Amino acid sequence: MGECVDVNFLSLIYEIIRSIEKDSHDVAQKLAELSRLFELCRHQIAKLPGIELSKAEQQQQIDVLRKQVVLKNELLQKYKTLCHFEAMHGNEQHH
């Protein structure tokens, strides 16, 4: 996902430095392009998934979720071994 973000600033900065040194006419155009690249980069970063938290917080969240799923599975298993709902449904239909 990180590859989706264009952060190739250095090459453009190098081109701009070369243009400044050569007193080229396209300096302003390249500066605008660099500015646009920064904005684009910010937009792309904003769209990246899973970066609202730090990695440690994410790990913590995933651990909590795993525990929840395990607990819920255990609860379901407990319910299923406790009662035979098929029999109950059969009786209801019979009634």
Partner 1 sequence: MAAPSTKAVLLSLVDDVEIITKELFESIASSKQQKATGLGGTEDYHQLTELLVQKDQELKDALNLAGEQAVIQKKIDSLKAESFKRDQDIRKLQQQLKEAEHVLSTAIYQAKQKLISIQKATKNQVPSEELIKYAHRISASNAVAAPLTWQPGDPRRPYPQDIEMRLGFLGRQSDLPINGQMLQAQSQASQGSSLSWQPPPEIAPMVSQVAINQSAMSVDSKGHNKENEGDEVEVMSTDSSSSSSSESG
Distance from C-alpha of 9 to C-alpha of 57, rounded to nearest angstrom: 30
Q: How far is CA 60 from CA 15, 17, 32, 41, in A?
A: 44, 45, 42, 29
In angstroms, rounded to a whole number, what is the distance separating the alpha carbons of residues 46 and 43? 5
Q: What secondary structure letter does DSSP report for 50?
A: T
Range 30-69, binding partner 1 (CB under 8 A): 31, 34, 38, 41-42, 45-46, 48-59, 61-62, 65-66, 68-69
Q: Which of 17, 28, 32, 36 binds partner 1 (CB under 8 A)?
A: 17
Q: Which residues bind partner 1 (CB under 8 A)?
A: 1-3, 5, 7, 9-10, 13, 16-17, 20-21, 31, 34, 38, 41-42, 45-46, 48-59, 61-62, 65-66, 68-69, 72-73, 75-76, 79-80, 83, 85, 88, 91-92
